[in-house]
A and B are shown apart, each in its own frame.
Chain A
Amino acid sequence: MAEHLLGYLGEFGTADALFDATKRAKADGFSCIDAFSPFPIEGMADVLALKRDHRIGWITLAGGIFGILAMLATQLFVNVDYPIEVGGRPLFAWPAFAVVDFELMILCAVLFAVIGMFVIIGLPRLHHPLFGTPRFGLASEDRFFLYIDATDPKFDRQETRSYLGSLGAWTVEPVRP
């Protein structure tokens, strides 16, 4: 049986169980691992060393700055391009302009953030090998999964399977393409 194997998926009953398992796996030197849960588990990010990822913040900031500058530029441009007196107000009515600038800042910030998020987490991706494993569907209900990828240097077809078991996984399934 030499068919291709992507990794193993271990099933756990509670968030805590998954949390501890993941911690231990990390401690035991597994690096290409991922955890799946029906809801975000507090602390999981630290364990998987995702905490220090501030890209979203920066993207949002960039969006905001882009938005406000773009709109301000537009406002200034149109009043230079077609200068005409309106109610005796000055061409560059900063207080009046500020309002729309603010809106555009928000709009672009949000758009950037959302798009950024999808780019980072690589969605949309409608099919994924994990969906092939029978029990994985429960990941969105009440089960918690730890996935160890075959590319992990410490990965071994037999070892890793029993290792997952030793972490307290109820079931361990191979993930095939």
Chain B
Amino acid sequence: MASRTPAIPLSETYRGITTEVARVPLQMPARVPWLIALILSLALLALFLASVTWLFARGVGIWGLNIPVNWAFAIHLYVWWLGLGHAGTLISAMLLLMGQDWRNSLNRFAEAMTVCAVICAGMEPILHLGRPWFLYWMFPYPATMGVWPQFRSPLEWDIWAVLTYLTVSVLFWYIGLVPDLATVRDRAKKRGWQVFFGIFALGWRGSARHWAVWNKTYRTIAAIAVPLVVSVHSEVSLLFASGQVPGWHSTIFPPYFVLGAAFSGFAMVAMIAIVMRHTFQLGHIVTERHLDVLAKVTLAMGLMTAYGYVFEVFDGYYSGELREIATLHDRFFGAYAWAYWGAVLCNFVPLQGLWVARIRRSPVLLFLISTSVVVGMWLERYMILVTSLYKDFLPSSFGYYHASFWDWSTYIGMLGLFMTPFLLFVRFLPSISIFEDKEVLEREKEAAAHG
């Protein structure tokens, strides 16, 4: 979709972009709000550490888990966090390959968001272990007893998937960052900053040779990252689909999960974009058009997710499986119906607003809608987990799950684990791709010149 309205206003200059973006790390514009945010997230982080300490001291029993519902918060949040992460990769990688210029103002912090989210996601399954200190048993190393990991287990798949995904996201984000680090390095006045950015810029000189090789690599990784995202979340879904539990045991799960992930992820990106745009006055670079496109993509993803919902229902009835249908009814009317209808409500009702251009371009409304989507997907993951587990096969072992204080404190604390590194990133690194925006501007200028 070659854009009529330019992503970057032609009035912008290269220097303008540089100063606008590079000033953020060098002389922070919005110190106060940033500090407040940082303090808040550090407080959350402290809560997280406290909860984890207690968790390791006493055992996972401090959570509301039981038999049958022996997976809940830790696992459904794992899925949720990972989902948020995916949009980052999709935005940078897929849109890069599709040559969507508008992406360039968003991809950098979207990627950073991915990294933070994946860290949180990776944390969850570890915390959820009965004996986390033996995590390393999941890796193939010559153990004294001669035992090895079990590669048929979806959990084994997951750990490799998350590991790969984390590494790739970090690398992709970093090499994309190097040229801009060089820019900031050259702008830096204070010695300390010069050294700091100097080191991380690795001595980038912007030579044509650098650019040529860099371009190839960057695009190659991008090309690889897209299938990676799909595979990672498909795997996550297999963690459930591989079990016999009614409500899990379904072939629609992989696409269903991937779409849901992208859905929540784009919503998350929109939220962050709006906040940053507002606090750092980046209105020229993250333009209304960016919001508009983000909104469109979110809407599209949302509709596809909705299709997943519909198909799941069809699937249940079509199977004719007594228990599948029972689980389905249980989702509609059972003890956890609030989670199901909550998910439907938050995910799809406000979403419809995005059909209207005015709403798409209104930061406030878009922010609210995105928030409701993120909440909605939270509920959906919870619903998929708990409503399937609490009533599976033998009525004698049906049992309810109630989240305990520590369930919540661990989760809410983890928001701190997510926000803190992200805040540090926007404070100390160019959170918007300088050179790519210049590239866009260059192209736009060309286009403008030749009619």
Contacts and interface: CB of A to CB of B under 8 A. Distances in A.
- The answer to whether A and B come from one shared complex is yes
Interface string A94-121: 0011011011101101110110111011
A21 to B, nearest CB: 12
A142 B125 CA distance: 47
Interface string B210-221: 111111110011
A142 B15 contact: yes
Contacts of B193: none
14 contacts: A45-B212, A50-B209, A56-B213, A81-B146, A89-B152, A96-B157, A97-B151, A103-B235, A106-B227, A121-B210, A123-B203, A137-B186, A141-B183, A141-B187
B448 interface: no
Contacts of A131: 205
Interface size for chain A: under 10, 10 to 19, 20 to 34, or 35 or more residues? 35 or more
Nearest to B146: A82
Contacts of B34: none
A15 B449 CA distance: 14
A82 B168 CA distance: 32
Contacts of B434: 38
Q: Does more than half of chain A's interface fall in helix, strand or loop, or is it mixed? A: helix
Interface of B: 13-15, 18, 140, 146-152, 156-157, 160-161, 163-164, 167-168, 171-172, 175, 179, 182-183, 185-187, 198-199, 202-217, 220-221, 224, 227-228, 231-232, 235, 238, 434-436, 438-439, 442
A35 B14 contact: no
Contacts of A111: 167, 171
Given A39-B435, A113-B217, A142-B15, A126 B198 contact: yes
A36 B205 contact: yes
Interface in A71-91: 74-75, 78-79, 81-82, 86-87, 89
A128 interface: yes
Contact of B186 (A35, A48, A126, A141): A141
A15 B442 contact: yes
B179 A140 contact: yes
A6 interface: no
A153 B109 CA distance: 47
Given A140-B179, A141-B14, A40 B152 contact: no
A127 interface: yes
A175 to B, nearest CB: 12
Contacts of A65: none
B168 A107 contact: yes
B175 A114 contact: yes
Contacts of B205: 36, 128, 130-131, 139
Contacts of B164: 103-104, 106-107
A99 B241 CA distance: 14
Nearest to B174: A114
A56 B210 CA distance: 13
Given A120-B213, A121-B213, A126-B198, A36 B207 contact: yes
A126 B202 contact: yes
Contact of B221 (A74, A79, A110, A123): A110
A25 B425 CA distance: 42
Contacts of B202: 118, 123-126
Contacts of A141: 14-15, 18, 183, 186-187
A117 B203 contact: no
A177 interface: no
Given A123-B204, A126-B199, A141-B18, 12 more contacts: A39-B435, A39-B438, A41-B442, A53-B213, A78-B149, A100-B157, A103-B160, A103-B231, A107-B167, A117-B175, A141-B183, A142-B14
